[in-house]
Amino acid sequence: MSRLKLLKPEEMTEEQRKYHELILMRPIFKDLPKDSPLEGPYNAWVRSPEMMQAVLPYAQYVRDNGVLEARLVELALITVGRVWEAEFEFAAHAVFAVKAGIDPEIVEAINRNEKPEFDKEDEAAVYRFAGELTSEYRVGDETYQAALEQIGEQGLVELIGLMGLYVMVCMTLNAFEVPIMAGMKKPFVK
């Protein structure tokens, strides 16, 4: 159970309701009724709409409009989510990763905390870079060079920015003990 009550729009301040409306405009929420409470990290972040107004354009860029392909974005996100053991993060983005073109076997290997077998060099490089930087706080020369060759300097900068954003997501989810939503597949089951 979450440490934070789900806020309904009628319980929000005017600024919080503006943020709520912005979030509900995202494609993944298009089918939700307009009076739905925000789940995941958004329920926490709605409590600081000023901070999220600053973060949203950045998040949209690195997640949706940057140079990295969607499959590499999603692979990085599930890798970070797994390292942080953020159930909501992993459960949500595992589905998106498969839709974006990541082999379901790779997603399941990451879910089991096993090293996946990659056919694509860019996926192997992003997985290794994301896992190493997130868990060891640095990357070795070989890992760096492989990622640089696959996604370039701008790609590396944006990958690091994306990972930093999703470390914040995972920290939010874990600190507030945000549960997965109904209908999500529970990850990390042994």
CA distance readout (Å), 154 to 13, 59, 151? 39, 16, 8
Least confident of 28-32, 45-49, 126-130, 149-153: 28-32
Question: Average of pLDDT values for 159-167?
Answer: 98
Q: Which CATH superfamily is domain 68-175 in?
A: AhpD-like (1.20.1290.10)
Question: Average of pLDDT values for 30-52?
Answer: 89
pLDDT in tens, 136-146: 999 999 999 99
pLDDT at 74 over 70: yes
pLDDT of the residue at 75: 98
Reported as type and span, the H/E element at residue 95 is helix 87-100
pLDDT at 190 over 70: no
More confident position, 40 or 109: 109
Domain ranges of the chain: 9-63, 68-175
Mean pLDDT of the chain: 94
